[in-house]
Chains A and B, each alone.
Chain A
Amino acid sequence: MEKIFAVINDMETDGIIGRYAIGGAVGAIFWLEPITTKDVDVFVMLPSSPGGSLLSLGPIYDYLTGRGYLPEGQFILIEGWAVEFVPPATPLVEEALAQAVERDVNGISTRVFTAEHLAAICLQVGRPRDHDRVIRFVEAGVLDTELFEAILRRHDLVGKWQKFERDYLEP
């Protein structure tokens, strides 16, 4: 897996992508017990094309296919893993990307969403598996209460959190 992080670091250094951070299930593994997943979600800021404001994943695909990595649907296979590059689609994910933290994985540096942002994103998305992950974050005791509640307030998620607590966390 750290080979993937090295490839993405090279992309950032070479200016193919802007700031990036690992999210999704692999991001969650940085804070939680290992949970299974089939793909790696990489959230990226994309440099706008010269003279235009349209953002395109084209340069990412060109760069990676040039290094022998093949596209498969919305993914690119890197070192045996389906990797998806995702531009931030909500203010919450934008903030998560801006505040992502550096982590070392066997000597390779990478950036990952904080536990508080990952939990807030799961709460916002709200599928059953996202709810399950929020419960894991709470039970693992890895969320800083003040940071998490501040995120919920900034992104209008307090009501959703109160309902979630009633439905899933209260004994």
Chain B
Amino acid sequence: MTDAMRQLLARKKERSRQLAMLPVGEKLRMLEEMVAATRAIGVNRPSGPAKPMVRIRKAAGD
């Protein structure tokens, strides 16, 4: 892993810690906003890929 990547991960961890320390009411309000935003994105969802990748689980012994 490069130094730049390590620094990015460290910043993300620190941001997570800061968010974790917010009051619960504030965090639940943020959750409500996230859910509303997700619904809004869902309304404008683009059409799927022309050739969707299909997950194939191999059977034991394959």
Which residue on chain A has the smallest CB distance to residue B39?
A38
Contact A142:B25 (CB < 8 A) given known A1-B32, A36-B34, A37-B31 = no
B30 within 8 A of A: yes
Q: How large is the interface on A (under 10, 10 to 19, 20 to 34, 35 or more residues)?
A: 20 to 34
CB contacts (< 8 Å) of B31 on chain A: these are 1, 26, 29, 34-37
B19 within 8 A of A: yes
A20 within 8 A of B: no
List A1-43 residues whose CB lies under 8 Å from chain B. Answer: 1-2, 26, 29-38
- Complex Cα–Cα for A139 and B10 (A): 10
A160 within 8 A of B: no
Interface pairs (21), CB distance under 8 Å: A1-B28, A2-B25, A26-B28, A30-B24, A31-B20, A32-B16, A33-B16, A33-B20, A34-B19, A34-B30, A34-B31, A36-B31, A37-B31, A37-B35, A103-B24, A105-B28, A106-B25, A140-B16, A140-B20, A141-B17, A142-B20
Mark B residues whose CB is within 8 Å of A: 13, 15-17, 19-20, 24-25, 27-32, 34-35, 38
